[in-house]
Amino acid sequence: KQEVTQIPAALSVPEGENLVLNCSFTDSAIYNLQWFRQDPGKGLTSLLLIQSSQREQTSGRLNASLDKSSGRSTLYIAASQPGDSATYLCAVRNTGGFKTIFGAGTRLFVKA
Amino acid sequence: DGGITQSPKYLFRKEGQNVTLSCEQNLNHDAMYWYRQDPGQGLRLIYYSQIVNDFQKGDIAEGYSVSREKKESFPLTVTSAQKNPTAFYLCASSIIQGAKGQPQHFGDGTRLSIL
């Protein structure tokens, strides 16, 4: 059974710092891995989607990597800003099924 | 603008009452999903539908029901059999055809509480 773990559960950093959020999964048979952002009381906004054949994806200050063999993904945020404060969730889509499995998220607070 | 609309934003349920959460999308997506989110936990799949008039149970379907009579709409009913319905409910949609790796798009959620 696929399990997705995100560490740390919460993170507080000063503005301008580069930071890395971690996501690990137990079954490497995935179609893709997706990173989402969730603001309080809101739905999820897709940030980056990495297909199983890809190693990384970039969008602006965000870079996500995928290492299927080790069951790990990282989300790198460069030059963090207070507006980056939110919960970041990763999710994997397994092969041979239609389900997406979500981690519990990392709650990020960027201090001005 | 294309997107997913969930209503209402807040909903209160009395004991023994069924309530229905609305989800409408104008993205022309084939697949739609309902998730439940509890504090400190990841999203858990309640039901999903890949095509009109067809849907499948997710991991926590007990106490819930859905219908998919139109491509744009996927309402979720929380029945009185669901003993712990207080949670944040999220609806999502995605493309399917030949594109298993397409991202899911989410609505803004409905927060359900017990009176």
pLDDT, tens digit, for every residue of A61-73? 999 999 999 999 9
Q: Cβ contact (<8 Å) for B59 and A31?
A: no
Percent of chain A with pLDDT over 90: 86
Q: Cβ contact (<8 Å) for B59 and A41?
A: no
| A21 lies within 8 A of chain B by CB | no
Q: Cβ contact (<8 Å) for A93 and B101?
A: yes
Q: With contacts defined as CB-CB under 8 Å, which chain B residues touch A98?
A: 31, 48, 50, 56
The larger pLDDT score, comparing residue A80 to residue A31, is at A80
For chains A and B, count residue pairs whose Cβ atoms are closer than 8 Å: 61
Distance CA(B18)–CA(B63), nearest Å, equals 10
The tens digit of pLDDT for each residue in B7-62 reads: 999 999 888 899 999 999 999 999 999 999 998 888 999 999 999 999 999 999 99
Q: With contacts defined as CB-CB under 8 Å, which chain B residues touch A52?
A: 101
Sheet holding B64-66, edge to edge: B4-7, B19-25, B76-78, B64-66
Average pLDDT over residues A25-35: 92
| Closest CA relative to residue A105, chosen from B38, B39, B42, B104 | B42
Average pLDDT over residues B79-93: 93
pLDDT of residue B85 exceeding 60: yes
As a whole number, the mean pLDDT across chain A is 94
Specify the pLDDT at position B102: 74
Give the number of C-alpha atoms closer than 13 A to the C-alpha of residue B59, restricted to the C-beta side.
15
Specify the pLDDT at position B63: 96
